[in-house]
Amino acid sequence: MNIADSEIVASILNESGYDVTRDINEASLILLNTCSIRENAEQKIWNRLKALKSVRKKNPSVMIGVIGCMAERLKEKLIQNDLPVDIVAGPDSYRSLPDLVIEAEIGQSRINVMLSESETYADISPLRLDSNGVTAFIAIMRGCNNMCTYCVVPFVRGSERSRDPRSIVKEATELFRKGYREVTLIGQNVNSYFWKDTGETIGFPELLAEVARIDPLLRVRFATSHPKDLSDKLLETIASYDNICKHIHLPVQSGSNRILKLMNRQYTREWYMNRIEAIRKIILECSVSTDIIAGFCTETEENHKDTLSLMEWAGFDFAYMFKYNERPGTKAAESLPDDVPDEIKTKRLNEIINLQNKISAKSKKADVGKIHRVLVEGYSKRSTNFLYGRTSQNKVVVFPAENCQIGEYVNVMVEKCTSATLTGRLI
Ligand code: 5AD
Ligand code: SF4
């Protein structure tokens, strides 16, 4: 989401006459787009700001801004110190950035952290940064109404609002025309996408189908799905279109019903298992990835074992795994004790990671000997004699470049797997 937001910010500033530079010493404006989800994400920004002191020393007129979730969360605290910060703008105030820069230049107020009920930046055509020219993100909604007790997102990104479907389809169509071959529709909870217009209502399955109909050569992905809202209708839509990728990111967070309740996830272990069964039944060869939090408030060894057993049962192809980190202002911070000692959180996280490594290895091994349709995204980091791309199931495959081009679809026979990638040959 922050990549997509940076592209919106770049577009807004571009309209005001700014260009993007790769050289920090050449910049007249430096913006740090920030994340508040865990403390270490914020710590990185504090360190980066300290490092920017020397850039400011060399170039006293350079403007420095902090934008995004940390700006929203900390507001004036980002300015009240000896760090070089001139501008603070939250996720809903990016349109005001050109004005904030002018105000900061003449030493006036330079904070805008007003959250909005309606801002979706629907009319802004993002300026693609660091693009491979093949894959792009399209934000379809902003904010979140779910109020998971551990999560800072609803406070820093505001309440949920969906973007006009016509502007989404237009953006995807233009990307396809420019040669892009894959779009990922993103939102904190895409399953609650909702648009009502002159009597017609459009939910996420309808939106996904409309984007898929743009062209069979345009792959469509999406993230993230909340398990409580994952409907059979959506699964049927995914199954009906070859170009909708067969991969669902479905964060489970915990396998214990007691912990899920304390997290306010609004589903049970059994509900989650039922959704996985529905995926397996409705979609052929669908991969599933997840997010897991280790050591949430009051988590017992038995609760942790419930997470391990669910992981094993579900056989996730991939997982993002975290230690619980208390965030100020959240319901958990206010009313639940962060009482799992750090050593125990680390131990549990390591158990989760070790188990997932085994499960992921098994999932990759199952691909060996199979032919996959791969969208070529770029050259392999190690050698330009090799290209890489992803399968519909979102697994990275590396193969000899031969005569194929970036942006093309190729068939690859998977011959080997390492811990992170599959390798194969063109057929
Ligand atoms: N501590 C640890 N992990 C968190 N996440 C969100 N908030 C926290 C927190 N306070 C994780 C969840 C979420 C992912 C984006 O980040 O797993 O799905
Ligand atoms: Fe945070 Fe829960 Fe919303 Fe995800 S669904 S952004 S975890 S509050």
Please say whether the beta carbons of 36 and 69 come within 8 A.
yes
In this prediction, residue 419 carries a pLDDT of 78
pTM above 0.85, yes or no: yes
The residue whose two tokens read 């740090």 is 32
Candidate of 146, 229, 253, 320 to mutate for ligand 2, largest count of ligand atoms within 8 Å of Cβ: 146
Question: Of the ligands numbered here, which is closest to the C-alpha atom of 148?
Answer: 2
* Ligand 1 center–CA 176 separation, angstroms: 33
Q: Is the CB–ligand 1 distance for residue 253 below 6 Å?
A: yes
Total residue count of the chain as it appears in this document? 427
pLDDT digits (tens, 9 = 90+) for 320-334: 999 999 999 999 999
Q: Is the CB–ligand 1 distance for residue 62 below 6 Å?
A: no
Alpha helices for 79-219 (secondary structure H): 97-105, 153-157, 165-177, 204-212
In this prediction, residue 194 carries a pLDDT of 96
Question: Of the ligands numbered here, which is closest to the C-alpha atom of 250?
Answer: 1
**Cα–Cα distance between 157 and 188 in angstroms, integer?**
10
Mean pLDDT in the chain?
A: 96
* DSSP line for 122-143: TT------S--SSEEEEE-EE-
Q: Which long-range contacts (CB under 8 A, 24 or more apart) does 104-108 make?
A: 104/63, 104/65, 105/63
Q: Which long-range contacts (CB under 8 A, 24 or more apart) does 37-40 make?
A: 37/69, 37/151, 37/152, 37/153, 37/327, 38/322, 38/325, 38/327, 39/325, 39/327, 40/325
**Cα–Cα distance between 259 and 422 in angstroms, integer?**
35
Neighbour count for residue 334 (Cβ, 10 Å)? 10
The residue whose two tokens read 């300015």 is 79
Tokens of 72: 């929203």
* Ligand 1 center–CA 325 separation, angstroms: 8
In ligand 2, which atom is closest to the CA atom of 152?
Answer: 1
Strand-strand pairing, 141-142 and 161-162: antiparallel
Task: Summarize the chain as % helix, strand, coil (round to 5).
Answer: 40, 20, 40
* Ligand 1 center–CA 97 separation, angstroms: 29
Of all protein residues, the one whose alpha carbon is nearest to atom 2 of ligand 1 is 324
Q: Is the CB–ligand 1 distance for residue 324 below 6 Å?
A: yes
Which residues fall within 8 angstroms of residue 273, CB to CB, at 6 or more apart?
Answer: 310, 313, 314
Candidate of 190, 260, 322, 336 to mutate for ligand 1, largest count of ligand atoms within 8 Å of Cβ: 322
Q: 301-314 vs 269-282: helix axis angle to the nearest 10?
A: 10
Of all protein residues, the one whose alpha carbon is nearest to atom 1 of ligand 2 is 151
Q: Could you tell me the domains of the chain?
A: 2-112 (3.40.50.12160), 131-245 (3.30.750.210), 256-366 (3.30.750.200), 371-426 (2.40.50.140)
Question: Of the ligands numbered here, which is closest to the C-alpha atom of 322?
Answer: 1
Per-residue buried b or exposed e for 24-48, using 16+ beta carbons within 10 Å of the residue's own CB: eeebebbbbbbbbbbeeebeebeee
Q: Is the CB–ligand 1 distance for residue 293 below 6 Å?
A: yes
**Cα–Cα distance between 246 and 227 in angstroms, integer?**
16
Give Cα separations from 371 to 119, 192, 386, 404 (angstroms). Answer: 44, 35, 18, 17
Q: Is the CB–ligand 1 distance for residue 38 below 6 Å?
A: yes
In this prediction, residue 418 carries a pLDDT of 85
Q: Is the CB–ligand 1 distance for residue 251 below 6 Å?
A: yes
Query: Which backbone phi and psi does 316 adopt, to 5 degrees?
Result: -55, 140
**Cα–Cα distance between 339 and 294 in angstroms, integer?**
12
* Ligand 1 center–CA 170 separation, angstroms: 32
Residues of the chain with pLDDT under 50: none
* Ligand 1 center–CA 38 separation, angstroms: 7
Which residues fall within 8 angstroms of residue 354, CB to CB, at 6 or more apart?
Answer: none
Tokens of 93: 């105030």
Q: Is the CB–ligand 2 distance for residue 127 below 6 Å?
A: no
pLDDT digits (tens, 9 = 90+) for 7-56: 999 999 999 999 999 899 999 999 999 999 999 999 999 999 999 999 99
* Ligand 2 center–CA 294 separation, angstroms: 16
* Ligand 2 center–CA 367 separation, angstroms: 32
Of all protein residues, the one whose alpha carbon is nearest to atom 16 of ligand 1 is 37
In this prediction, residue 199 carries a pLDDT of 81
Tokens of 41: 């994400």
